[in-house]
Structure formats: C-alpha cells, structure tokens
Structure 1
C-alpha cells in the first residue's frame, strides 16, 4: 500500500485528492496545523480514512517529524494562503506560508529522503496567477511570469525553488500550473462560490443582493475533481516535469454570474447584482487561459466537466445546503 502526505487537506483540492488516492488504495495522511482547526470535524466526518498528522509549513522541524512519522511515497503540497485578495492585506504571511513553506517542505524531503530505491516524490501546487499580466496567450509551461499579487509572487518563488531542488539535488519534484478550478467545496470567500451561494439564497428568498467587484476579468475555469487527477498522474511518470492544467476556454466573471442565475431560473440577474470598489484588487489580472497540450500528450489527461456543468453543480449544491439550513423544502 502506497502512502501519501497531503498538505492543505481541508481545502477543496486536498479533499478531492484524498478521495482519489483512497480509491487507488493509498494510505492517506493529511497535515494539520494546530489543535483547534475549525474544519477538522467536517473533514473527519467526510473523509474518515484520512489519518491526520501535526505539522506547519512555517516550521521546518515539524515537517521533518511529519515525514519521519508518515514515511510517504508521495507528498502533495497544496497548503497555502490561497485567497488572492487576502494576500494584499497579509503579504508577509502569504510569502512565509505560500512561498517559504515550499522551501521548508523540499528541505525536509531532502533531509528525510525516503529509501534509495523509493525516494519521496513531490508535487507542488503552482498557479496560473504566476502569469499575471500575461506575456502571451494562451499560457504554456514556458510563458514568462509576471505576477500581480503577493500570492502570485509567492507562488513564483515556490515554483522556482521546486525546479531548483529538482536540478540541484535530483529530487523527483513536479509543479502543476493549475488554472482556476472550482467545486461545491470551494471556500465562500472565493468569487465563484460567493456567486453560487448568493444565487441560491436569492432564489430561496433569503438574500436580496449580490455585491461583487470587477465583472470583466476572464478566467479559464475547470472542475477541481478533474484537476487532482492531473496531480496524481504527474507523480506516476518516469521523469519529473512541470505541466499546465487548464481547459483552454475562458469566461468572464460576468458570464459566470449570468450562468449561475440562469441555472437557478432567474433571468433578470442584473437587478440583484451591485459592484463595490472594496472588492476590486489593487492590481487586477485581466485574462488567464491555459494550453494543456503537454498534459494531454504526456499524461493522457483531459478535463471532463465543462463550464456550464460546473456552474450548475455548484448552484445545485448551494440550493440544497441553504434550503437545509433554513428548513425549506425544495420541490
């Protein structure tokens, strides 16, 4: 039975990846910071097969201890301060966790190593936000980075240090440059889930308006459950490499909003939506769209859930969630 350690186990990617690995007969471990994590109870209820291990991306010694305890075959680093808006307000924390956390984990892997015949394989969750103010479209693995947020800058460091440890120490280390990927498990602070949850509440008569920032940025949106399959495939290859993971199609925030209201049966969506400058970023990323040809060719990966189906999935989930919380019987 292979063993995998996942940081960021409470996030959407961590949960979908844990389910995927469990289905492939892995023993799955999740790294948890602190003793009173508010997401812990829900995680243990939904994913009882995950064994939790204490550790912190800000503390090298705890990472070494976790690796020595787990003795993993594979390590997936999904842990980060991942909300772009928050990174402007807590830039130093973002750099420390999202950037230097990668260095600490790589150093811990280098120190613990695994067996000579079975060295630890490492996956780093890189991000399309590294491209920022894009130099070319669509973006591929060799497109130059131009990050537009502290989060994007920290991800560039994490990506580059992963390449450096691969080149310098021969680690089996891969980075997946994942474009935006969503799901019903997405946090409510992210614009996609903020939209679908508000649409559900408006449909149920529990909310009157949806307040957003800029509606024009365009993103390449896919389903998180599809994207974790690419993560696993990267660590099954003979040689480590980096891969863009994307659908190759782009939609604006406005189109996401329209699709969500349309699926809920609300045509006049504009009467419910207002904009507030508080939700505009100091430096916006206008367009991100990826070319996943390398992942399709070398990994045999392709997205399965399209944009409309993704939006519908999220709206339906939030309708059931909010109806249950409010004691409303759905037809």
Structure 2
C-alpha cells in the first residue's frame, strides 16, 4: 500500500487532506508534535475519527534529526508539508521560531525525501504548502507564478525560504511542487484567525451572548476560498506528471468588511456596523493591503477550479458556529 507522510496533519488543511488520502486507499502517516506536559494536540482525536489506521509519529519540526528519521522510517511515496506556524500575527511575536519550523524544516524534509529517493531508486513526490504571503506588497495584481517573491512578515519570509528550496530540489531531480495558497477557510478554521473570529462573533451576537465584535482594519483585501478545494490542489500537484509551482486562488478579492457584512447577514443581523468596533492593536505591522491570485496555470495544467464562492464559504462557517451554539443550548 502506498504511504503518504503529512506534517501539520491536525490543522484545518491537514484534516481534509488526510481524510481524502485515506479514502483514496493510501496509508496515512501524520507527524505529531511531541508534548512535554502530556497534553494532546486538540485536533488529533478529530483526525483519528476520520482516518482509520492513522499512523502517528512524534517529531518536532525544529528537530532536523527527528524529521529525517521519520521520512527514512516511513519511506513514503508522497510527502505533504503543511506544518509550521500558521499565523502571520504569531510570526511577529515569534520570528525565530517561525523561521525554524516554517522555513528551515522545509529544507530538512526536502533533503530527506531526496535521500530516500537516491537510496531506494524509487520516486518520492513532495508538495510544499506555500503562501500568498511570499509576495508581500506585490507590484502587480493579480499575482501569479511570475510575481516577485518579496515577503513583508516573518511568516512570509519563512515561507519564501521554503518556496525557493522546493525549486532547488526540483532542479536536483525531486518531484517537488509548491502550491501558493491564498486565504482559504472552512468551519475547521481555528478561532484565533480573523475569519473564524468574525463568524463566531456574528453567531454569538445573534444568540444574544455578546453585543460587540472588535477587529483590526476592515479595509484589508484578501482572496478567500474554500479549504477542501485547496487541499484538492495539493493532491493534484503531487500527482501531476511534471512538478511545478501553482498559485491556488479564486481570483476575486473582498475586504474584511465584506466578510463581516456577509457573516452578520447570514446570522440574521442587518445592522452589522452597530456591533463592530475597530482597534489599532489588532492591526499587524507591514500588512499587505491587497492579495488576489491568478490560478490560470493550476486550472490549465491540474484541471483545478474552486467549487464554492465567497458567500458560500462565509455561510458555511456561520452555519457551523450557529449550530455549535444550538448544540450547547447557547451557553457561552
């Protein structure tokens, strides 16, 4: 049975990816972060529930020897690197850690995959979950695979290193691809992210549990898609005949205000402005104001296309948060 090794398996994308790989008949191996205090990653039980036979390997992304050992032990046919610090805001608070686990770890995994391929004579395929943050304040819009890589955050800089390393190892003979993922959401998005903060806030206000929602800038524009669609792009990139880089995006940008308006409307609140406050403390340093991607290359080569539009994504998230409140009797 072919084996797939996935880092970041307990995150939003990892959940959908591992579920899909298992359904396709692959043996799924997940790299799980070790715990010093005995506590378990909160997403692990959910992952186990949808991936029968999940094989777990404890390894810190900052431990190069441990990561290399896992790749050698599993000997996967496919490696999906989704792991790392997933929040731009967190990367400003932890820039060194971000560089280590979201940047240098990519090089470790690529080299381990290449070494495995050299040792066995069997092709190993690798995909890196890159990010639109590598483009920073891009000089042109929409951005595509030819857009200059000029990150403006520690998160973007770490992702840029990983993105370039994919190209290095691709030139060395590894089937290595990078999918440059624009913002993508689902009900599995953690509450620390602004999109989930908005949908949860709208649900709680609609339920009478809160009266206000405090956010940063409402003018920031992003290209928001549906997370399961973006996971499909990762699999398509791994299975493609020729490795390459692919921008994965809807091609349509919306402001945070658009997201707020849509979320409150779905929750049944017409006057969203009466409930939303802004606070400069929530504004990131060096925020890229506009990110919108051109996924023509992925659509033509991989046959990829999004299945949900912006409003559909927001509606699904709000419905989920309303259902969660209903399930617990609308208690906080």
The bucket for the TM-score relative to the shorter chain is: over 0.9
Q: How many residues align?
A: 327
How far, CA to CA, are the matches of 1:105 and 1:55 in structure 2?
12
Instruction: Report the TM-score when normalising by structure 2.
Output: 0.95
Give structure 1 regions of 4+ aligned residues with deviation exceeding 6 angstroms: none
Q: What is the CA deviation profile of residues 251-300 of structure 1, one whole-angstrom value per residue up to 9, with x for unaligned ones? A: 00000000000011100001110011110011111001111111000000
TM-aligned CA deviation for residue 324 of structure 1: 1.9
The aligned runs of 1:103-142 (5 Å cut-off) are 103-113=107-117, 116-142=120-146
Range with greater deviation from structure 2 (245-254 or 49-58) = 49-58
Post-superposition CA distance 1:145-198 (Å, at most 9, x none): 22111001111011001111211x211110000111000001111110110011
How far did residue 82 of structure 1 move? 1.0
Q: What is residue 87 of structure 1 aligned with on the other side? A: 91
Aligned 1:13-52 pairs, distance under 5 A: 13-35=13-35, 36-39=39-42, 40-52=44-56
Correspondence 1:310-329 to 2 at 5 A? 310-325=313-328, 327-328=329-330
Residue aligning to 1:12: 12
Of stretches 290-299 and 37-46 in structure 1, the one that deviates more from structure 2 is 37-46
User: CA, structure 1 residues 179+88, in 2 after alignment: closer, same or farther (shift >3 Å)?
Assistant: same
Summarize the Cα distance change of 1:142–1:185 in structure 2 as closer, same or farther, 3 Å threshold: same
- Give the Cα–Cα distance (whole angstroms) in 1 for the partners of residues 265 and 18 of structure 2: 33
CA contact (8 A) 1:71 1:114 kept: no
3-state secondary structure, aligned to 2:56: strand
Conservation of the 8 A alpha-carbon contact between 1:60 and 1:108: no
Q: Is 2:282 the counterpart of 1:279?
A: yes
Per the normalisation by structure 1, the TM-score is: 0.95
Shift of 1:117: 4.9
Please, which runs of 5 or more residues in structure 2 have no aligned partner? none
Is 1:74 the counterpart of 2:61? The answer is no
Q: In 1, are the aligned partners of 2:33 and 2:41 still within 8 Å (CA)?
A: no
Compared CA separation, residues 255 and 163, structure 1 to 2 (3 A): same
CA contact (8 A) 1:57 1:104 kept: no
In 2: Cα distance, 1:38 partner to 1:28 partner: 18
Q: Which moved more, 1:246-255 or 1:22-31?
A: 22-31
Residues 10 and 41 of structure 2 are in contact (CA less than 8 Å); yes or no, is this contact kept in structure 1?
no
Instruction: Tell me the distance in 2 between the aligned counterparts of 1:278 and 1:144.
Output: 30
**In structure 2, C-alpha distance between the alignment counterparts of 1:222 and 1:149, rounded to whole Å:** 22
In structure 1, the gaps of 5 or more residues are none
Deviations for 1:109-154, whole angstroms, at most 9, x for unmatched residues? 2233376553211100100011110111110001002211100111
- Out of 177, 182, 200, the position equivalent to 1:179 is 182
The 5 A counterparts of 1:59-70 are 59-70=63-74
Secondary structure at the residue paired with 2:130?
strand
- Give the structure 2 partner of residue 264 of structure 1: 267
Q: Which residue is equivalent to 1:149?
A: 153
Matches within 5 A, 1:191-210: 191-210=194-213
